[in-house]
Structures are given as C-alpha cells and as structure tokens.
Amino acid sequence: MAVTPATSHLSYSLSYFWYQLRRSPMMLLGLVLIVLMCLAALLAPLLTAHDPNAIDLGNRLLPPSAAHFFGTDEVGRDLFSRVLYGARQSIGVGIFVAFVASAIGSVIGCFSGVIGRSVDRIIMRTMDIVLSVPSLVLTMALAAALGPSLFNAMIAITIVRIPYYVRLARGQTLSIREMAYVQAATTFGAGRSHIVRWHVLRNALPPVIVQMTLDIGNAILMAAALGFIGLGAQQPTAEWGAMIASGRNFLLDQWWYSTFPGVAILVTAIGFNLVGDGVRDMLDPKQKVK
C-alpha cells in the first residue's frame, strides 16, 4: 500500500522504534539505566525507609548495611535516601537545561539564519564570544553572580548551553532555506514567521534532538560540578555534587559517602549519553550504513 491510514502512524512509529532498539543493544542499555534512575527518582518516597534530611547523630558514618543500604553521613542521614532524592534534582536539571536551552537556542538560530545579514552577524558574533570562554568557567562565573542555589546553577548552565543550539540550528537553517519547499512556500505567499515555524524549525529538529539527549548527561555533570564547588545546591538539599564534596573529607575512612553519589552520576550520565548516541543513529540514516 502506498498510503497508510492516519490512525496507524503512531503504532507504526512505535513498532519501528522497537525494531531500531533491538538492533542497538547499547541504546537499550542506556534506556534501561535512564528508566531505572527516573523510577528511583519518582518512587523515592516508596523505596526508602528514611527521610533524606532526618538527622540521627547516634548513627553517624555507618558503613552500608541492611538498614542503610549506602551507609550514613556525618550527621547520620541515610545515604540511600539522599542518593534517590538527589536523582530528582539532577535529572530535573538535566531535562530543564536540555529543553529550555534547545528551545531558546534553536528559535534564535533559525531566525538568525532566515533573516541573515547584519542581524545574523550580530547574533552569531555574540554567540562566538560566549563560546570563546571555557564553558565551566563561564558557568561558574554566572552561577556565582546569580548567587549560589540549585535554580541559579540551572539558569547558568542553560545560558552557557544556548550558543551550541544557536549554531546548530543556524547551520541547519542555512541549508533548509535553500530547499525547494521553502521556496515553494514563498511562492504561495507564506510570510517569514510561517516559514520558520512550519518549514525551517521542523526540519532543523533532528540534530537538535540528538544534541539535546547528549546534553542532558552533560548538564547533570555540570550541575554536580557546581554543587561540588558550592555554587549549586546548598545544604541540606540532597544533591549528588554537594554530597561528593562533603564526603571528600571522609574519603579515606568512609569510602561509601562519596562513592555512591559518584556512581549515581556516572550511571545517569552514561545512560543519557548512550541514548543520545542511539537517537543520533536513528535520526541520521546515512550514518547507519557501516
């Protein structure tokens, strides 16, 4: 059949997605890791027996045991609870940064590419300036200027990630702008905003989505780094980076304190990166042929 009825598009997409997934075990692994971490974050109250912020000075720095799977910290808080609740912060930051930065960045990039000339030059040179500063240094400076808190760290990371999306979307726009369908839309009287909305943005999306999935892991690492140097989440918020930082003092004798949040960061970042790679292979059929 040349024409598939509209109703079957969704189920077709799902079965195609599953077909692709079976062919790339690494992506499947990444997806499993992400799903596990997300479940842990969502179901944290059900999975843990202890309040993540409950101080119990009688049980300080206990090693992992049946009562405290990951042990306890220097004020007796259950590390297992704190790691699970910490997943909420980290994954939340990752997803927020990827969505907000890509939305803002690709809209700016598309308009920059479509309008062209001096507007394009001003926008792109501004982005070049932002990109010329090492991203961690800039994030730290922004976070410090905004004041240390998880939310401000999130905003800082978002701002620093925007130029990557602007460049990506602009590059896509420059090639899409020359496509016959954009010209055809012009001959049918479409205005500039209609063309950006319906023709350019849509077709520029695949690489942006790939960049987004890869960026979630990146943003999680960045937020942890900011937490580690004290510019991100503040005590007593359970956040992986901050937990590693305070566990550092006990690293020689109480290895579990820093290790479990570290493993959590590792697993989540790997999960999102594997999925990002898999999504890229899916959305770019040209690369798949090996």
Q: How far is the CB of 13 from other proteins (least distance, A)?
A: 12
Q: Pattern of binders to other proteins over 188-227, x per CB under 8 A?
A: xxxx--x---xx--xx-x----------------------
φ and ψ at 189, to 5 degrees?
A: 90, 20
Nearer to other proteins, 196 or 231 (CB): 196
Number of residues that bind other proteins (CB under 8 A): 23
Cα radius of gyration rounded to whole Å, the chain: 23
Please state the separation of Cα 10 from the chain's center in Å: 26
Q: Is 10 in the site for other proteins (CB under 8 A)?
A: no
Q: How far is the CB of 207 from other proteins (least distance, A)?
A: 14
Nearer to other proteins, 124 or 176 (CB): 176
CA distance 114 to 180: 15
Nearer to other proteins, 2 or 252 (CB): 2
Nearer to other proteins, 55 or 179 (CB): 179
φ and ψ at 71, to 5 degrees?
A: 85, -170
CA 265-259-250 angle, to 5 degrees, is 135
Q: Pattern of binders to other proteins over 103-122, x per CB under 8 A?
A: --------------------
- 246 neighbors 261 (Cβ within 8 angstroms): no
Alpha-carbon distances, residue 46 vs 13, 83, 98, 109 (angstroms): 34, 14, 28, 43
Q: How far is the CB of 166 from other proteins (least distance, A)?
A: 21
Nearer to other proteins, 3 or 66 (CB): 3
Q: Which long-range contacts (CB under 8 A, 24 or more apart) does 253-262 make?
A: 253/61, 254/61, 254/63, 254/71, 256/63, 256/64, 256/70, 256/71, 256/79, 257/61, 257/71, 257/73, 257/74, 257/79, 260/70, 260/71, 260/79, 260/80, 260/83, 261/79, 261/82, 261/83, 261/86
Q: Is 14 in the site for other proteins (CB under 8 A)?
A: no
Nearer to other proteins, 200 or 219 (CB): 200
Q: Is 11 in the site for other proteins (CB under 8 A)?
A: no
Q: Pattern of binders to other proteins over 143-182, x per CB under 8 A?
A: ------------------------------------xxx-
**Residues contributing to the site for other proteins (CB under 8 A):** 2-6, 179-181, 183-191, 194, 198-199, 202-203, 205
